[in-house]
Amino acid sequence: MNEIPEAFRLEQVGEHRFRASSIGDPTVHDVVFGGQIMAQMILASGLGSAGKDVTSIHTIFARSASLSVPIDIEVDVMHDGRTLGSETVTVRQGDRLCARGLVLRHAEEPDLIRHQPPMPEVDSPDTAPATGQDMLVAPGTELRVVGGVNTWDPESPVGAAELFVWIRLPVGLGDFTLTQAMLAYATDGFLIGTAMRPHAGIGQNMAHRSIATGVVSHTLTFHDRFEAGEWLLMAHEGVYAGRGRSYGRAHVFAEDGRAVASFVQESLIRAAHPEGSTSTAGRRN
């Protein structure tokens, strides 16, 4: 537990109410990463749902959150049945409502039927290089990008709107809810860059300068259990970009080929607002 980031150790401050810190340097960019907020929502919902894994979380990011202010999390239990449970999780900073998520949980059940998408044939994590994008995964998580694609550099060669990323969560997490939270953190950061890949002269390092970007909604569904310490492949596809928005989706595979999760994301990608103006949506990526 000493290796778990402080932001993942929620302090209970009331019934179904929690407080948490954030990961990042407010002197560099004073905005909380959306993946952290989703991870904290999963952890908060799990503290009252023993025996049920998260099956999905759907999050709307209404406003940006500041790294300089504690995160306040409130869980409203909608239903807690024998096999299914659901909660609404709200994140605030003072009077500022930042995000709200719907979390669905389920107890383990046997297969009646089973099928899944095929795992893409890509280079193994042993041959995929590190690219310096580790800020997009939780501390302690290893990251490899197939082909060394760098979506941050606007001078990188253009390519198809797809991105294959290997991640390995730190070992010894123990609780599966924490393992799910660590994966949720990593699912937030790559679909905006995936949408940029086909467009010359566009890169994620232009964000908050000449380009305004931000995740506005994110839905993550867990299919199967997986182990911390094993490599997971996130296969991203940028389906659509236009009108200041992008829509992307991805599947997550274990090394043995099992599909363990899928997610979709709606984001902003548009020209930056003039100096001094504000956006109604949080700018996170």
Query: DSSP per residue over 119-142, as a string?
Result: PP----TTTSPP-S-GGGS-TT-E
* Residue 5: per-residue pLDDT: 87
Band of residue 133 on the pLDDT scale cut at 50, 70, 90? confident
* Residue 283: per-residue pLDDT: 41
Domain annotation covers residue 152: yes
pLDDT, tens digit (0-9, with 9 covering 90-100), for 238-260: 999 999 999 999 999 999 999 99
b/e string for 158-179 if b means 16 or more Cβ within 10 A? Answer: eeebbbbbbbbbbeebeebbbb
Measure CA 33 to chain center: 9
Domain annotation covers residue 244: yes
Range of the domain at 173: 6-107+124-271
Residue 280 has pLDDT above 50, yes or no: no
Domain annotation covers residue 277: no
Q: Please classify residue 11 by burial: count the beta carbons closer than 10 Å to its beta carbon, then call 0-12 exposed, 13-18 middle and 19+ buried.
A: exposed
Band of residue 22 on the pLDDT scale cut at 50, 70, 90? very high
Tokens 């107890």: give the residue: 107
Residue 2 has pLDDT above 60, yes or no: no
Question: What is the percent of the chain with per-residue pLDDT over 70, rounded to a whole number?
Answer: 94
Domain annotation covers residue 133: yes
Band of residue 274 on the pLDDT scale cut at 50, 70, 90? low
3-state secondary structure of 158: coil
> Alpha helices, DSSP H only, in 48-190?
176-187
> Alpha helices, DSSP H only, in the chain?
34-46, 176-187, 191-196
Mean per-residue pLDDT, 66-91: 95
- Give the residue from 66, 63, 61, 64 showing the smallest Cα distance to 24: 66
Residue 285 has pLDDT above 70, yes or no: no
Do the beta carbons of residue 18 and residue 11 sit within 8 Å?
yes
Q: Please classify residue 195 by burial: count the beta carbons closer than 10 Å to its beta carbon, then call 0-12 exposed, 13-18 middle and 19+ buried.
A: buried
Residue 103 has pLDDT above 90, yes or no: yes
* Residue 276: per-residue pLDDT: 43
Least confident of 40-54, 73-87, 217-231, 268-282: 268-282
Domain annotation covers residue 82: yes
Neighbours of 251 (CB within 10 A): 20
pLDDT, tens digit (0-9, with 9 covering 90-100), for 144-183: 999 999 999 999 999 999 999 999 999 877 789 999 999 9
Q: What is the mean pLDDT of the chain?
A: 92
Domain annotation covers residue 191: yes
DSSP for 200-238, written as a single string:
TT--GGGBTTTEEEEEEEEEEEE-S---TTSEEEEEEEE
Domain annotation covers residue 278: no
Mean per-residue pLDDT, 205-210: 85
Residue 42 has pLDDT above 90, yes or no: yes
| Domains held by the chain: number | 1
Tokens 């948490």: give the residue: 20
Q: Say which CATH number the domain at 162 has.
A: 2.40.160.210
Q: Please classify residue 221 by burial: count the beta carbons closer than 10 Å to its beta carbon, then call 0-12 exposed, 13-18 middle and 19+ buried.
A: middle
Domain annotation covers residue 150: yes
